[in-house]
Homo-oligomer: A and B are copies of this chain.
């Protein structure tokens, strides 16, 4: 992800003001992609068999993640209006479903009795965030800031990396 901040022409703080919303949406995208990257790192690190299905589930996830900068910018540059906020939630929903699929495909390759299967368990946090995104999409049309609040809540919920996998690996 490349930061596309246009260099302002003025040399005072006022010149930075038009850059600010783009900067904040960059920060938001960065945090979300950081969360996925970090959990993804732990997940693939614990994966021993990379099958064709794993590669494709991974590509599927990366497809939705590659749309995050676009939908974040669209939402941010329009002052958080209903349609962009709902579409943002839709892409986040599809990315979280794609992550869910990736986990299942990896578990299918690793075996249900594997260490990874035990570490992930019921995956309450993953299911909760998928449900919250599904809730935020219609909510965007009622009250945008409620949907945005849900997005920030999910981000905070995940900011702690997936210690379930990590602690299991450490315990070995």
| Nearest CB of chain B from residue A66's CB, rounded to whole Å | 5
Determine the chain B residues whose CB is within 8 A of the CB of A163 once the complex forms.
Answer: 52
Determine the chain B residues whose CB is within 8 A of the CB of A159 once the complex forms.
Answer: 56
- The residues in A between 27 and 80 inclusive whose CB is less than 8 angstroms from any CB of B are 27, 30, 34, 37-38, 41-42, 51-53, 55-56, 59, 63, 66-67, 69-70, 73-74, 77-79
- The residues in A between 155 and 172 inclusive whose CB is less than 8 angstroms from any CB of B are 159-163, 166
Which of A8-16, A95-103, A112-120, A124-132 contacts its partner?
A8-16
A residues in contact (CB < 8 Å) with B: 2-3, 5, 7-13, 16, 27, 30, 34, 37-38, 41-42, 51-53, 55-56, 59, 63, 66-67, 69-70, 73-74, 77-79, 81-84, 87, 159-163, 166
Q: Which 5 A/B pairs are nearest by Cβ-Cβ distance? A: A52-B161, A11-B81, A11-B78, A34-B59, A7-B73
Determine the chain B residues whose CB is within 8 A of the CB of A2 once the complex forms.
Answer: 2
| Nearest CB of chain B from residue A140's CB, rounded to whole Å | 11
Determine the chain B residues whose CB is within 8 A of the CB of A8 once the complex forms.
Answer: 74
Copies in the complex: 4
Q: Are A52 and B12 in touch, CB under 8 angstroms?
A: no
Determine the chain B residues whose CB is within 8 A of the CB of A3 once the complex forms.
Answer: 66-67, 69-70
Beyond the given A7-B70, A7-B74, A52-B160, please list 11 additional residue pairs across the A-B interface where CB-CB is below 8 A.
Answer: A3-B66, A9-B77, A9-B78, A12-B81, A34-B56, A34-B59, A38-B55, A41-B55, A51-B166, A52-B161, A56-B161
Give the CA-CA distance A12 to B84 in the complex, in Å.
7
